[in-house]
């Protein structure tokens, strides 16, 4: 039987998990026996890419040969050079996924359906790019799941049947911050509200600490540090030490630089405040108050920072529930989700019994709409406006159809725009256009002809939109999911050997 796997494709570290014979989610170790693998890629020759700890060290020592933190640019046109050759975040992610899948193949034999996790606030193209990367890596992937939802699923599973009511998930990793308010009933997880900050995480704390040490060095010696004198990796090590100790001494270019936990906390305090504000907004959005929250679950390595713990306690009015493996809970939850969504005939009876109580329902993380010409009665003029078809918070999967009408006689085409926004914004200037197409109409049409617009949002929070000219039945279908375009892509990374 093929094993179901869940992969947490993290900004700094990735993890892979499966469901063991007893139906429990378990982490699959990497070749070094570690539970998490650095999401770093190094080119050791023109066609060999190494992923993991060696790549992480190379990224610190010889950054031009390696790439890291590319998850932050998933779905963008940003390129990362490795030895002069450009790679997209999608390609780099697929190297990491391919490597993780190899650990799984070594450990569980046949790798079956896989689920990869993404931050809750990932935009449409970043979701798509993640699916694409998984396909390029040769994974059998049908679903992606939001990281905090996966974490919640794991916590709910672990605690057995006991959970009931509203909970919060606070996920602060290496690159992103996510907060979700969920309703849990036994193994049944429903997302009420979710928000995130795309570029807020441990990586920013490393940069801030690196800067502090550099400026302290300058103060002490009058000189500047060389770029390889106090690398990001070294800063990260000192940061982790500060979670345990009140002071650290960094040895930098034969100089001793002291940093106290208090100084570090000051450095990151604006980030923590931003996270606090987002937690408050998310609590509001869920229509609850902190007294309704029965528990707060932590995920992400950065929640080990004592100040983060204090901040969570303050915002939610209670001590969070944590586990030693905050950097594994997302992958473990993803493995559960893979089994839950997958073909149950691949499960043993014991596994089936463990999984069958699970239920997960997600809601739309953003608003989706289309731009049409409406009549502004106040100013008595035609005006472009954004109409929301799918609202943030709507249960998914869902499908919404609305009618729009052509404006003038002889109109030759209808513009088919798809917009994405974080709130129900009507002003087209403040929304992101994620698709801009056209539906051509036959000649000689009178005005006020109906065009039906349908937005269908699937389990992966990926959208399909159709614009139908009702009279002729002509249709423009926008499949905003590249994931359904099979084939070809895998060869793109197949020419590289991933080690």
Instruction: Output the smallest distance, CB 71 to Mg ion, in A.
Output: 9
- The smaller minimum CB distance to ligand ATP, of residues 202 and 320, is found at 202
Assigned token pair, 492: 């793109």
User: Which residues, 6 or more positions from 492, have their beta carbon under 8 angstroms from its beta carbon?
Assistant: 91, 136
User: Residues in the chain, how many?
Assistant: 499
- The smaller minimum CB distance to ligand ATP, of residues 203 and 469, is found at 203
- The smaller minimum CB distance to ligand ATP, of residues 241 and 398, is found at 241
Assigned token pair, 409: 């006689």
C-alpha distances in angstroms, 200 versus 171, 333, 423?
Answer: 11, 22, 21
Looking at 88-96, 170-178, 333-341, 442-450, which segment touches Mg ion (CB under 5 A)?
Answer: 170-178
Under the binding rule (CB under 5 A), the answer on residue 6 touching Mg ion is: no
Instruction: Output the smallest distance, CB 11 to Mg ion, in A.
Output: 7
Instruction: Output the smallest distance, CB 28 to Mg ion, in A.
Output: 16
Assigned token pair, 385: 């406006």
- The smaller minimum CB distance to Mg ion, of residues 23 and 173, is found at 173
Instruction: Output the smallest distance, CB 44 to ligand ATP, in A.
Output: 23
* 195 close to 177: Cβ distance less than 8 angstroms: no
Instruction: Output the smallest distance, CB 92 to ligand ATP, in A.
Output: 14
Closest residue to Mg ion using C-beta atoms: 173
240 binds, among ligand ATP, Mg ion, none (CB under 5 to 8 A by kind): ligand ATP
Under the binding rule (CB under 5 A), the answer on residue 148 touching Mg ion is: no
Instruction: Output the smallest distance, CB 350 to ligand ATP, in A.
Output: 30
- The smaller minimum CB distance to ligand ATP, of residues 37 and 460, is found at 37
Query: Which chain residues interact with ligand ATP by CB under 6 A?
Result: 8, 10-13, 36, 71, 147, 173-176, 201-203, 236, 239-240, 243, 300-302, 304-305, 327
- The smaller minimum CB distance to ligand ATP, of residues 38 and 295, is found at 38
- The smaller minimum CB distance to ligand ATP, of residues 362 and 469, is found at 362
Judged by CB under 5 A, the residue of 10, 23, 60, 148 near Mg ion is: 10
Instruction: Output the smallest distance, CB 308 to Mg ion, in A.
Output: 14
Instruction: Output the smallest distance, CB 360 to ligand ATP, in A.
Output: 19
What are phi and psi for residue 129, nearest 5 degrees?
-65, -35
- The smaller minimum CB distance to ligand ATP, of residues 70 and 316, is found at 70
305 binds, among Mg ion, ligand ATP, none (CB under 5 to 8 A by kind): ligand ATP
- The smaller minimum CB distance to Mg ion, of residues 10 and 320, is found at 10
301 binds, among Mg ion, ligand ATP, none (CB under 5 to 8 A by kind): ligand ATP
Give the CA dihedral 321, 203, 80, 42, nearest 10 degrees.
Answer: -80
| Neighbour-count burial for 284-302, b at 16+ CB within 10 Å, e otherwise | ebbebeeeebebbbbbbbb
* 442 close to 126: Cβ distance less than 8 angstroms: no
C-alpha closest to that of 223 among 188, 250, 254: 254
Q: Which helix (H) or strand (E) holds 195?
A: strand 188-197
Which of positions 173-232 make contact with Mg ion (CB under 5 A)?
Answer: 173
C-alpha distances in angstroms, 190 versus 168, 225, 447?
Answer: 11, 50, 44
Under the binding rule (CB under 5 A), the answer on residue 301 touching Mg ion is: no
In the 8-state DSSP scheme, what is residue 20? -
- The smaller minimum CB distance to Mg ion, of residues 116 and 279, is found at 116
What are phi and psi for residue 455, nearest 5 degrees?
-110, 120
| Helix, strand, coil tally for the chain in percent (to 5) | 35, 35, 30
Residue 68 and residue 11: Cα distance in Å, rounded? 8
Instruction: Output the smallest distance, CB 284 to Mg ion, in A.
Output: 25
393 binds, among Mg ion, ligand ATP, none (CB under 5 to 8 A by kind): none
Residue 286 and residue 258: Cα distance in Å, rounded? 44
Instruction: Output the smallest distance, CB 81 to ligand ATP, in A.
Output: 22
202 binds, among ligand ATP, Mg ion, none (CB under 5 to 8 A by kind): ligand ATP
User: Which residues, 6 or more positions from 212, have their beta carbon under 8 angstroms from its beta carbon?
Assistant: 259, 263, 264, 267
Q: Dihedral sign for Cα 268, 274, 276, 278, please.
A: negative
Strand duo 293-299 + 164-172: pairing: parallel
- Residues β-bridged to residue 337: none
- The residues binding Mg ion (CB under 5 A) are 10, 173
């Amino acid at each position: 039987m093929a094993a179901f796997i869940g992969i947490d494709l993290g900004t700094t570290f990735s993890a892979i998990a499966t469901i063991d014979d007893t139906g429990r989610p378990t982490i699959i170790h990497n070749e070094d026996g570690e539970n998490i693998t650095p999401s770093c890629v190094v080119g050791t020759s023109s066609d060999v890419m190494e992923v993991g700890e060696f790549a992480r060290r190379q990224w610190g020592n010889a950054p031009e040969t390696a790439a890291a933190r590319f998850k932050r640019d998933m779905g963008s046109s940003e390129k990362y050079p490795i030895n002069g050759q450009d790679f997209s975040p999608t390609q780099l992610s697929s190297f990491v996924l391919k490597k993780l899948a190899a650990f799984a193949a070594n450990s569980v034999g046949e790798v079956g359906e896989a689920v990869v996790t993404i931050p809750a606030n990932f935009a449409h193209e970043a979701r798509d790019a993640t699916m694409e990367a998984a396909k390029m890596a040769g994974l059998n992937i049908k679903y992606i799941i939001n990281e905090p939802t996966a974490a919640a699923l794991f916590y709910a599973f672990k605690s057995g049947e006991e959970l009931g009511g509203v909970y919060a998930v606070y996920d602060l990793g290496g690159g992103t911050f996510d907060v979700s308010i969920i309703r849990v009933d036994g193994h049944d997880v429903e997302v009420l509200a979710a928000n995130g900050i795309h570029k807020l995480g441990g990586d920013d704390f490393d940069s801030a600490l690196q800067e502090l040490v550099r400026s302290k060095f300058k103060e002490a010696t009058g000189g500047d540090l060389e770029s390889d004198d106090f690398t990001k990796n070294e800063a990260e090590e000192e940061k982790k030490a500060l979670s345990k100790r009140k002071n650290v001494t960094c040895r930098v270019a034969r100089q001793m630089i002291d940093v106290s936990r208090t100084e570090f906390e000051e450095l990151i305090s604006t980030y923590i405040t931003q996270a606090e504000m987002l937690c408050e907004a998310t609590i509001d959005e869920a229509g609850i108050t902190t007294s309704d929250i029965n528990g707060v679950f932590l995920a992400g390595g950065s929640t080990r920072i004592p100040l983060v713990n204090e901040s969570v306690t303050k915002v939610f009015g209670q001590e969070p529930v944590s586990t030693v493996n905050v950097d594994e809970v997302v992958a473990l939850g993803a493995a559960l989700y893979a089994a839950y969504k997958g073909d149950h005939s691949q499960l043993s009876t014991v596994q089936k019994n463990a999984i069958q109580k699970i239920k997960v329902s997600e809601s739309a993380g953003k608003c989706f709409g289309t731009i049409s010409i409406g009549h502004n009665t106040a100013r008595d003029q035609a005006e472009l406006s954004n109409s929301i078809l799918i609202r943030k918070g709507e249960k998914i999967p869902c499908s919404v159809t609305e009618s729009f009408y052509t404006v003038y006689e002889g109109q030759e085409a209808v513009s088919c725009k798809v917009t994405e926004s974080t709130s129900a914004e009507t002003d087209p200037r403040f929304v992101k256009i994620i698709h801009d197409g056209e539906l051509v109409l036959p000649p000689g049409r009178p005005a006020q002809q109906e065009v039906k617009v349908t937005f269908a949002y699937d389990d992966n929070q990926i959208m399909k939109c159709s614009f139908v000219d009702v009279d002729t039945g002509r249709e423009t279908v926008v499949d905003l999911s590249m994931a359904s375009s099979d084939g070809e892509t895998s060869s793109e990374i197949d020419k590289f050997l991933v080690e």
